[in-house]
């Protein structure tokens, strides 16, 4: 057990991030007098030991990220007699963590929340910064709250049994962080350690998570509620990517969508003269070396639907959707893009 970050958040809240072994997690779970542990059917399996008495196992998958699941959590919490000082513990990927945290944020107007990410994506993406939520009306995470977990327990043991596609999904977010970082430390690490990263060498993976979280933390602590336009930069690739995920009815993974979206943002940025060409090319090469750059394109006949989905994006301001583009290393900007620029970026030329 090691505390690797203590992240100061709005209103004096702090999220402490620890690395834990599975045994330490089990001990932690048994230390709370009143708790509800929320798993999905994947994480309950990879946890590999008896679940705490007050537990709920939800079906996995983005299609269950809805009020019905949150309702099940709240209802179980109510039946188990949880109070406002009880602890909701989410153990799983981003879907479970977002929903467990959302449920904890609205139960009695806010109970306690501890998150145990079991996927690479959730370790680097869903656990820090307090974004909670569910999908709603066809839009991802359209309903939710800002509610930071008091603790995040990262356990790389969980990552060993992840399916390749799930691990790749996490790598998509890590690669995104490499571009957003003020320096090239993470980019260089990703380029040099690619073999060890892909073979999931535990120490290499732990270091990659740490470097990736460091970038995320630098953005969220400067803008905890996404009001200053700084934190919004973490949505690099998300506007392009979410709409692709929606087009595929969430049949492609989040990180896969984001990675694809980052490459689109780099290409769009070059096309309108915002992004340094060399930075974009290096970035796209890095994404390509991990197999991300050219994985999808939007068919011409679906572009209308794709573009309308973008119009539903949460990050609208004054009715306009703003994309995150990159000027260069660690220099994001928020911009609107016209339909033709979006079209050129998402439809691959023959």
Q: Please list, in sequence order, all residues whose beta carbon lies within 8 angstroms of the beta carbon of residue 260, skipping any fewer than 6 positions away.
A: 237, 240, 241, 244, 292, 293, 295, 296
Out of 10, 194, 200, 331, point to the residue binding a second copy (CB under 8 A): 10
Q: Please list, in sequence order, all residues whose beta carbon lies within 8 angstroms of the beta carbon of residue 27, skipping any fewer than 6 positions away.
A: none
CA 69 – CA 84 distance, rounded (Å) = 20
Out of 64, 194, 210, 315, point to the residue binding a second copy (CB under 8 A): 315
**Max Cα distance, the chain (Å):** 61
CA 40 – CA 25 distance, rounded (Å) = 17
Identify which range of 15-23, 162-170, 215-223, 306-314 contacts a second copy by CB under 8 A.
306-314
Q: Which is nearer to a second copy, 94 or 283 (CB)?
A: 94
CA 62 – CA 251 distance, rounded (Å) = 9
Out of 1, 14, 78, 182, point to the residue binding a second copy (CB under 8 A): 78
Binding positions for a second copy, 173-232, rule CB under 8 A: 225-226
Q: What's CA 99's distance to the chain center, in Å?
A: 13
We find the least distance from the C-beta atom of residue 305 to a second copy, in angstroms, to be 16
β-pairing verdict for 320-321 and 316-317? antiparallel
CA 42 – CA 165 distance, rounded (Å) = 14
Binding positions for a second copy, 16-35, rule CB under 8 A: 33-34
Q: Which is nearer to a second copy, 86 or 267 (CB)?
A: 86
DSSP SS3 for 3: strand
We find the least distance from the C-beta atom of residue 120 to a second copy, in angstroms, to be 24
We find the least distance from the C-beta atom of residue 73 to a second copy, in angstroms, to be 11
The residues that bridge with 3 in the sheet, in sequence order, are: 18
We find the least distance from the C-beta atom of residue 98 to a second copy, in angstroms, to be 11
Q: For residue 224, what are its two tokens?
A: 């905890």
Out of 41, 71, 183, 327, point to the residue binding a second copy (CB under 8 A): 71
We find the least distance from the C-beta atom of residue 179 to a second copy, in angstroms, to be 24
Out of 31, 50, 109, 338, point to the residue binding a second copy (CB under 8 A): 109
CA 310 – CA 244 distance, rounded (Å) = 9
We find the least distance from the C-beta atom of residue 181 to a second copy, in angstroms, to be 25
Instruction: Answer whether 282's CB lies under 8 Å from 293's CB.
Output: no
Q: Residue 201: which of 171, 159, 144 has the closest Cα?
A: 159
Binding positions for a second copy, 115-144, rule CB under 8 A: 131-133, 136-137, 139, 141-144
Out of 314, 328, 330, 334, point to the residue binding a second copy (CB under 8 A): 314
Q: Residue 93: which of 144, 147, 158 has the closest Cα?
A: 158
Q: What's CA 55's distance to the chain center, in Å?
A: 24
Beta-carbon count within 10 A of 273 CB: 7
Identify which range of 121-129, 198-206, 308-316, 340-348 contacts a second copy by CB under 8 A.
308-316
Q: Is the dihedral of CA 312, 344, 232, 188 positive or negative?
A: positive
Under the criterion CB under 8 A, does residue 53 sit at the interface with a second copy?
no
Q: Mask of contacts with a second copy, 79-108, x by CB under 8 A? A: x-x-xxx-------------------xxxx
We find the least distance from the C-beta atom of residue 34 to a second copy, in angstroms, to be 7
We find the least distance from the C-beta atom of residue 170 to a second copy, in angstroms, to be 23
We find the least distance from the C-beta atom of residue 81 to a second copy, in angstroms, to be 8
| Contact residues for a second copy, defined by CB under 8 A | 10-11, 33-34, 67, 71, 74-75, 78-79, 81, 83-85, 105-110, 131-133, 136-137, 139, 141-146, 225-226, 311-312, 314-319
């Amino acid at each position: 057990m090691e505390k690797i970050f203590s992240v100061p958040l709005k209103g004096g809240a702090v999220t402490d991030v620890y690395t834990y072994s599975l045994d330490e997690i089990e001990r932690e779970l048994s230390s709370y007098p009143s708790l509800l542990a929320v798993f999905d059917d994947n994480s309950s399996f990879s946890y590999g030991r008896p679940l705490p008495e007050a537990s709920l196992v939800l079906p996995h998958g983005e299609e269950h990220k809805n009020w019905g699941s949150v309702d099940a959590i709240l209802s179980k919490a109510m039946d188990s007699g949880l109070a406002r000082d009880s602890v909701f513990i989410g153990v799983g990927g981003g879907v479970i963590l977002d929903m467990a945290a959302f449920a904890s944020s609205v139960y009695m107007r806010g109970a306690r929340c501890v998150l145990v990410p079991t996927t690479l994506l959730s370790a680097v993406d869903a656990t820090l910064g307090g974004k909670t939520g569910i999908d709603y009306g066809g839009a991802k995470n359209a309903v939710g709250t800002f509610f930071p977990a008091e603790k995040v327990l990262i356990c790389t043991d969980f990552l060993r049994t992840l399916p390749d596609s799930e691990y790749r999904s996490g790598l998509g977010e890590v690669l995104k962080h490499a571009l957003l970082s003020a320096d090239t430390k993470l980019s260089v690490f990703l380029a040099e350690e690619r073999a060890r990263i892909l073979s999931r060498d535990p120490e290499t993976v732990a270091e990659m998570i740490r470097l990736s979280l460091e970038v995320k933390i630098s953005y969220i602590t400067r803008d905890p509620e996404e009001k200053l336009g700084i934190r919004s930069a973490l949505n690099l690739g998300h506007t392009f990517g979410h709409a692709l995920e929606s087009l595929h009815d969430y049949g492609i993974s989040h990180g896969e969508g984001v990675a694809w979206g980052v490459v689109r943002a780099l290409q769009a940025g070059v096309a309108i003269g915002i992004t340094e060409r060399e930075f974009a090319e290096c970035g796209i090469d890095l994404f390509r070396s991990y197999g991300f750059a050219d994985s999808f394109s939007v068919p011409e006949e679906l572009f209308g639907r794709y573009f309308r989905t973008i119009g539903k994006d949460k990050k609208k301001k004054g009715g306009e959707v703003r994309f995150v583009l990159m000027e260069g290393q660690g220099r994001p900007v928020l911009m609107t893009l016209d339909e033709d620029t979006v079209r050129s970026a998402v439809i691959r030329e023959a």
